[in-house]
Structure 1
Amino acid sequence: MKFIGTTVAAIALIFSGLVFAESSAADDVEKGKEIAAGICAGCHNADGNSTIPIYPILAGQDSGYTAKQLRDFKAAGGEVAARDNMIMAPMVATLSESDIENLAAYYSQQQPKPGTAGNASLAEAGKRLYQGGNLENSIPACSSCHSPNGQGIPPHYPRIDGQHAAYTLSQLQAFRLGTRKNDTNNTMRMIVSRMSEQEMEAVSEYISTLR
């Protein structure tokens, strides 16, 4: 009987630990929700589904990727941030590491809303580039890193399906200009250096149609 009682007690402790862990995780998401409503909602909406084309849709993005991006907006040691952005820099300046983790966790649990293409012919040209690349200019297919449906390969390659065309284009341009330099192994900077402006516009348009 003593053995049974000890076993039951152990199981109870394990179960209570699991419940506590689940509650803590839920609390973290709730904290992230509070931060999103207070700081981020003006540009990204409370649920991360931005309706302003120049600001990204964050809903459904991998939490590890989002957390890294938030850290990369912060300048450290007097150096320019890996993502040099005058809007985001002051927004992340006051965020603690736990704030960043909670915010990323919250957005990862939100359901992204599908985007639409404004230019069907441009999107069709982008589809060819996204799926097959441009061998003549050594441009790989976007699908090789971001997957055929744009779900990405977290945490290094983000989910991009349904993203605003204007935002995607701005990021391709930022990689080219060097104001964004946080890509893995300089991959994006190398690729965009071989892309024409029209190719960047076309693939951005197509990405907005992905589901």
Structure 2
Amino acid sequence: MKLTGITVAAIALTFSGFVSAEAPAAGDVEKGKEIAAGICAGCHNPDGNSAIPIYPILAGQYPGYLAKQLHDFKAAEGETAKRDNQIMAPMAATLSEDDIANLAAFYSQQKPQSGPVTDASLVKAGERLYQGGNLENSIPACSSCHSPDGQGIPPHYPKINGQHPGYTLSQLQAFRQGTRKNDTNSAMQTIVSRMSEQEMKAVSEYIATLK
């Protein structure tokens, strides 16, 4: 059954209702810098501004969100990780609680640099979906949880502005395929199940333009 515009808006507000203010980073920035230089810089660059489109820009991200992601790459014995990723799983497995807090503190203090748009022809369609959703298919506006400028709502909804389109698209696909299932109340898994591949590509391109 199709949902009305009011119902979709209510769903989006419900998702947003699970957020709270982000606490200050508790880790040691200098220790985080050392860890990042040793094991993270090859993919994410020393300051977290990845130049490789399949790897995310971490600079400026909320520390609570970063810490959660590193925990979610770890799988409990006999279970699949909430983020099933063959590259990150062995990296995260070596990190202690202090390491995670220190990395989160370090990256949160770095200045982000936006990734480039790869298909400008999709940006306008992406803007319509991001800011207004698709009521016909019961897709709420991305801005309702990630804010109109992509700054997010910590700690559950991350900053996504300026992110590489290729990385954003890969995460939307991961939510759809079930290899990523660490979203609040399965919100993203529900939403992407209603999105077309073209919509996912378009909104990924638009997100890269946000400042």
Is TM > 0.5 for Structure 1 vs Structure 2?
yes
Equivalent residue runs for 1:39-188 within 5 Å: 39-188=39-188
In the alignment, structure 2 segments of 5+ residues that lack a partner are: 1-24
Distance 1:76 1:26, change over 3 A: closer
In the alignment, structure 1 segments of 5+ residues that lack a partner are: 1-24
For 2:5, the equivalent position in structure 1 comes to none
CA distance in 1 between partners of 2:100 and 2:38 (Å): 14
CA distance in 1 between partners of 2:175 and 2:107 (Å): 24
> 1:171-210 deviations in whole A, cap 9, x for unaligned?
0000000000000000000000000000000000000111
TM-score by length of 1: 0.87
- Secondary structure of 2:209 counterpart: coil
> 1:34-76 deviations in whole A, cap 9, x for unaligned?
0000000000001000000000000000000000000000011
TM-score by length of 2: 0.87
Aligned length: 187
- Structure 2: which amino acid aligns with 1:180? R
Instruction: Report which stretch shifted further, 86-95 or 27-36.
Output: 27-36
- Structure 2: which amino acid aligns with 1:84? D
- The alignment's C-alpha RMSD in Å is 1.2
CA distance in 2 between partners of 1:56 and 1:181 (Å): 18
CA distance in 2 between partners of 1:119 and 1:55 (Å): 18
- Structure 2: which amino acid aligns with 1:75? A
Q: How high is the sequence identity, in percent, across the aligned residues?
A: 80
For 1:22, the equivalent position in structure 2 comes to none
- Structure 2: which amino acid aligns with 1:121? S
Q: How far 1:117 sits from its partner (Å)?
A: 1.6
Distance 1:27 1:182, change over 3 A: closer
Distance 1:99 1:27, change over 3 A: closer
Higher relative contact order (CA 8 A, sep 6+): 2
Q: How far 1:78 sits from its partner (Å)?
A: 1.6
Q: How far 1:116 sits from its partner (Å)?
A: 2.7
CA distance in 1 between partners of 2:193 and 2:141 (Å): 15
- Secondary structure of 1:208 counterpart: helix
- Structure 2: which amino acid aligns with 1:73? F
For 1:4, the equivalent position in structure 2 comes to none
Structure label with greater radius of gyration: 1
- Secondary structure of 1:199 counterpart: helix
Runs of 4+ in 1 over 6 A off after TM superposition: none
Q: How far 1:27 sits from its partner (Å)?
A: 8.0
> 1:58-105 deviations in whole A, cap 9, x for unaligned?
000000000000000001132000000000000011100000000000
